[in-house]
Amino acid sequence: MSSVVLLLSCRDKVGIVAGVSGWIASIGGNIIDAQQHTDAEDGVFFQRVSFTPPSGVNLDDLEQQFAVIAGQFGLDYQFCSLPHRPRTAILVSKHLHCLSDLLSRAHLGDLSIDVQLVISNHSDAEGISSMYGKPFVHLPVGTSDGERAEQEQQLASLLSSSSLELVILARYMLVLPQSVVAPWSAKMINIHHSFLPSFVGANPYRQAHDRGVKLIGATAHYVSENLDEGPIIAQDVVRVTHRDNVKELNRRGRDLETVVLANAVRAHVEHRILVMGNRTVVFE
Residue 217 has pLDDT above 70, yes or no: yes
43-to-16, 69, 239 alpha-carbon distances in Å: 13, 20, 36
The CATH class of 87-282 is: alpha beta
Fold: same for 3-82 and 87-282:
no
CATH of domain 3-82: 3.30.70.260
State the amino acid at position 20 in one-letter form. Answer: V
| Weakest mean pLDDT among 68-72, 100-104, 238-242, 274-278 | 238-242
Beta strands in 53-165 (DSSP E): 76-82, 87-92, 114-120, 136-138
pLDDT-based confidence at 199, cuts 50/70/90? low
pLDDT-based confidence at 200, cuts 50/70/90? low
Q: Compute the distance between CA of residue 14 and CA of residue 182 in angstroms, rounded to an integer.
A: 36
pTM for the full predicted model: 0.91
Q: Residues 18-45, buried b or exposed e (16+ Cβ, 10 A)?
A: ebbbebbeeeebeeeebeeeeeeeeebb
Catalytic residue among 39, 228, 244, 255: 228
| Weakest mean pLDDT among 67-76, 166-175, 209-218 | 209-218
Q: Compute the distance between CA of residue 108 and CA of residue 105 in angstroms, rounded to an integer.
A: 5
Contact between 34 and 16 under an 8 Å Cβ cutoff? The reply is: no
State the amino acid at position 184 in one-letter form. Answer: W
pLDDT-based confidence at 143, cuts 50/70/90? confident
Q: Compute the distance between CA of residue 54 and CA of residue 29 in angstroms, rounded to an integer.
A: 6
Computed from CA positions of residues 172, 174, 180, 186, in that sequence, does the dihedral angle turn out positive or negative? positive
Listed by start position, the domains of the chain span 3-82, 87-282
- What does the pLDDT read at residue 242? 85
- What does the pLDDT read at residue 210? 79
| Element at 212 (helix H, strand E) | none
Residue 204 has pLDDT above 80, yes or no: no
Instruction: Let me know if 228 is a catalytic residue.
Output: yes
